[in-house]
Amino acid sequence: MEAGPKVTRLEVTELEYEIKNMGTDYNGFNLVYEKGSTAKRRMAVLQIYTDQGIVGETVTSSVELSTAPIWAGYLIGKNTLERERLYSDVKRALRQVARIGVSAMDNALWDIAGKYYNSPIWRLLGGHIRPLPAYASTTHGDENGGLDSPEAYAEFAVQCKEMGYPCFKIHGWGGGRVDREIATIAAVRKAVGPGMALLIDPACELNTWGDTWTVGRACDDARFFWLEDPYKDGGISQFGHRKLRQLIRTPILQTEHVRSLEPHVDFAIAEATDFMRGDVNYDGVTGVMKLAHACEGLGIDIELHGGGPLQRHLMTSIRNTNFYEMALVHPRNEGTFAPIYKDYRDGLDVIDENGCVYAPEGPGAGVELDWEFIRKNRTGGVVYE
Ligand SMILES: [Mg+2]
C-alpha cells in the first residue's frame, strides 16, 4: 500500500492589508463603518510541502501560527494522510497553550488529502452539494452614519430580506448599552415581519448577567432564533448560561470561545447552551467534524462560526446545522472579507436568489490563493525544514 505524501517543509507567510471605509469603535477592538478611514487587518498563510509535489495551503492568523515552532519539527517526515494521529499528538503537545495552532496544521493536511485524492474536502467527508442558507451577519454598530440606530439596523434587515437572506444577525454596539440593544431587537423584528429568522450576538459586550437577562427577555418577545455570547464572562461560564437558559425561552448559542471537543461537550452536558458553536479556525476540520458528530449524538445542532471555503465544506457535510454566516456585512462598505483568493469570495451580494451559497467543488479546499495579493502585502514569514 502506498504511504501517502510525506511532509518536507513548512512555510508561514504573514500579511497585512487595508479595508476601506472601516474604523474601530470605543476601545479599538471592534471593526465598524467609518467613511474615509482605513482599518488594518492581519492574517497568515500556512503551506505544508510534501515529497509528492502536493502543497497544502490554509489561511489562518499569526496567533495560530505562533505555536508552529513547537510542532513544525514533529511534522517533518510524517505521512500527511494520518490526520487522526497527527491531530492527537499535536493537540497533546499544545495542551499548555490552549491548543492554539492545531487547526492550521489540520486544515492544511485536509487540503493535501483532497489534492491527493483529487476530491473536494466535502466529498472525503461524505457530503453532497446542496444550497447552504446564509445569514447576513452585520459588523458592529457605529456612530458614523452607518448602522448607527435601531432604525438603521431595521432598514438593513429589510434590504437583506429583499435580497433573499432567510436570516439576519445583529452585532450591536460596543459598550453594552442595553436600551439601544433592546430597541434594535424590537425594530428589526417589526420591520421584517414574522418570517425571517433573527439572531443577536452582543459579542460579550453586555456588562452584567442582569443585562443579559434583560436582553434575553426582549429576544423572547421578538421571537429570536438564538441569542449568542451575550456578556462579559467572555462566553465561557457554564453556570451563568445554564441559569440564563432556565429563565428565557430564546435558545442560546455558546462555545464560540471554547476550544477542543471535550470542553464543548462538557458545556452541552452542563445544559449551558442550546446550539453548539464550531470554529474551523480553532479546532480544524477534524475537530469540527468530531464536534458535529458529538452534537448529533446529543440530538442538537452545531452552527459554524464565520464564513469561508472550509466552513462551506463542513456545512455541506453535516446534517445537524442550520445557517452559513456571511460575515461581516454592512450596507455602506465592502465588509470584512479579505480578497485573498482568486476564485472565491464572501460578501453581502454573494448569495443566490434564495439566500444560499455553495461549497467549492475543486480538489482540497477548492480555492486558489491570490499570491500576487499576498506577496504585495507580505510583512514577514518563516520556513521550517
Ligand atoms: Mg459570535
Distance in Å, CA 92 to ligand 1 centroid: 27
Distance in Å, CA 191 to ligand 1 centroid: 23
Distance in Å, CA 328 to ligand 1 centroid: 11
Sketch out the chain's domains with CATH numbers.
7-120+365-384 (3.30.390.10), 124-357 (3.20.20.120)
Distance in Å, CA 229 to ligand 1 centroid: 6
Distance in Å, CA 200 to ligand 1 centroid: 9
Distance in Å, CA 4 to ligand 1 centroid: 38
The answer to whether 138 and 328 have CB atoms below 8 angstroms apart is yes
DSSP string for residues in 259-316: -SHHHHHHHHHTT--SEEEE-HHHHHHHHHHHHHHHHHHHT--EEE-S-SHHHHHHHH
Distance in Å, CA 31 to ligand 1 centroid: 14
The residue among 158, 160, 164, 132 whose CA lies nearest residue 355 is 164
Distance in Å, CA 137 to ligand 1 centroid: 9
Distance in Å, CA 305 to ligand 1 centroid: 7
Whether the ω angle into residue 348 lies within 30 degrees of 0, i.e. cis, is no
Amino acid at 348: L
**Predicted TM-score (pTM) above 0.85:** yes
Distance in Å, CA 362 to ligand 1 centroid: 29
**pLDDT by residue, tens only, the chain of 385 residues:** 678 999 999 999 999 999 999 999 998 899 999 999 999 999 999 999 999 999 999 999 999 999 999 999 999 999 999 999 999 999 999 999 999 999 999 999 999 999 999 999 999 999 999 999 999 999 999 999 999 999 999 999 999 999 999 999 999 999 989 999 999 999 999 999 999 999 999 999 999 999 999 999 999 999 999 999 999 999 999 999 999 999 999 999 999 999 999 999 999 999 999 999 999 999 999 999 999 999 999 999 999 999 999 999 999 999 999 999 999 999 999 889 999 999 999 999 999 999 999 999 999 999 999 999 999 999 999 999 9
User: Using the 8-state DSSP alphabet, how is residue 328 labeled?
Assistant: E
Distance in Å, CA 116 to ligand 1 centroid: 34
